Amino acid sequence: MFTKKNILSMRDFSRSEIDLVLEGAEKLEKYALGKKSDLLQGKIMANLFFEPSTRTRLSFESAMKRLGGEVLNLGSQEASSISKGETLSDTVRVISNYCDVLVLRHPKEGAARMAAQFSSVPVINAGDGAGHHPTQTLLDLYTIKRESFLDGVSIALVGDLKYGRTVHSLAYALAMYDAKMFLVSPEQLKMPDDIKSDLKDLGAEVIESTSLNDVVKDLDVLYVTRIQRERFPDPEEYGKVADSYCVSLDLLNDVRKNLIIMHPLPRVNEIDVEVDKTPHAKYFKQAFYAVPVRMALLTLLLGD
């Protein structure tokens, strides 16, 4: 049974709750592809975005509308003018009177958890600062389930593993599926020790490496993230590091036939466009899976 009132952090999810979301998404996929549905007819979702976002906001909107629901959209401009210097807690108290579910993106960490205390309707965290983005993790898991397999999957998480906290939530969730995790990052962007020890406690096999080449042959999933320029004081250093983690056709010579490549997008130059044509490329499919996963969350929260 799904008893959650809000979707705030992956930390709140048990494996069986994740499975419920993923099973729900599978059932709803046909509607994400365009089949008519009135599952959420009469329900209103408010998008409250204090920071710009395209794919997250649009995929939530698409999910709600394809299930027959209505959407109130407050982009960053409107959101800030509505709040006119008022506290987030007041804004949430007001807006939750106008909708059945509230989707929030906010620059402060912990904003969604606080909003949930003041909202009269369920709150979905669509990203809070450098904090959580649980619906991204769930759609990543769904992509792995649909395009590869979850139990005991051999996956490399590549890029900024130090500051990229969505990677932390994904790793945390994958540990519940006994994943074998290769953590591939430059020395200065390695995953923090406390998170690694959490992963091991959960039963995951964790192997660190600085070389993508060394591990790529052993993978079912290659999950690539962006390395941000601002993490490097020296631009030349950044250039070298960024290049060394670029996924190109050359890298894919000896990989497993069923390897899938994922990326939360937008990509800059982490994946060469040539790779898009290979059967390994699943990052655009991943972007599509955002819709059924968000549909599943909306129906679980709004279902009677």
Partner 1 sequence: MERELRIKSIHNGTVIDHIRAGQALNVLKILRITGASKAVISVAMNVPSKNITSKDIVKIEDRELASDEVDKIALIAPNATINIIRGYEVIEKHKVQLPDEIEGIIKCANPNCISNTKEPVSPKFVLHEVDPLQFRCFYCDRILVGDFIDYVKT
Name the residues that contact partner 1, by CB under 8 A.
Answer: 9, 11, 87-89, 106-111, 113-114, 117, 128-132, 194
- Which DSSP string do the residues of 129-189 spell out, in sequence order? TTS--HHHHHHHHHHHHHHS--TT-EEEEES-TTT-HHHHHHHHHHHTTT-EEEEE--GGG
- Minimum distance from CB of 267 to partner 1 (Å)? 26
Beta bridge partners of 28: none
The answer to whether 159 touches 227, Cβ cutoff 8 Å, is yes
Shortest Å distance, C-beta 200 to partner 1? 15
Q: Which residue number, 113 or 180, has a Cβ lying nearer to partner 1?
A: 113
Distance of closest approach, residue 112 Cβ to partner 1, in angstroms: 9
Residues 291/253, Cβ–Cβ less than 8 Å:
no
Q: How near is the Cβ of 102 to partner 1 at its closest, in Å?
A: 15
Among residues 213, 284, 210, which one has the least CA distance to residue 247? 213
Provide, rounded to whole angstroms, the least separation between the CB of residue 106 and partner 1: 8
* Burial of residue 73 (number of CB atoms within 10 Å: 0-12, 13-18, 19+): middle
Q: Rank residues 112 and 219 by Cβ distance to partner 1 and give the closer one.
A: 112
Given the complex with partner 1, which of 113 and 267 has the nearer CB atom? 113
Least CB distance to partner 1 at residue 54 (A): 23
> Would you call 120 helix, strand, or coil by DSSP?
coil
Beta strands in 175-225, from DSSP E residues, in sequence order: 180-184, 205-209, 221-224
* C-beta closer to partner 1: residue 97 or 117: 117
Burial class (CB in 10 A: 0-12, 13-18, 19+), 169: buried
The rounded distance, in Å, linking the Cα atoms of 128 and 115 is 11
Which of 193/234 has CB closer to partner 1?
Answer: 193
- Quick one: 132 or 145, whose CB is closer to partner 1? 132
- Nearest approach, Cβ of residue 232 and partner 1 (Å): 21
Residue 213 CA neighbour count, 13 Å, CB half: 3
Given a contact cutoff of 8 angstroms between Cβ atoms, the answer to whether 102 and 119 are in contact is yes
Identity of the residue, 118 or 288, whose beta carbon is nearer to partner 1 in the bound complex? 118
Q: Smallest gap, in angstroms, from Cβ of residue 134 to partner 1?
A: 12
Helical (H) or strand (E) element with 125: strand 123-128
Residues 6+ away with beta carbon under 8 Å from 34: 66
Residue 48 host element (H or E): strand 44-49
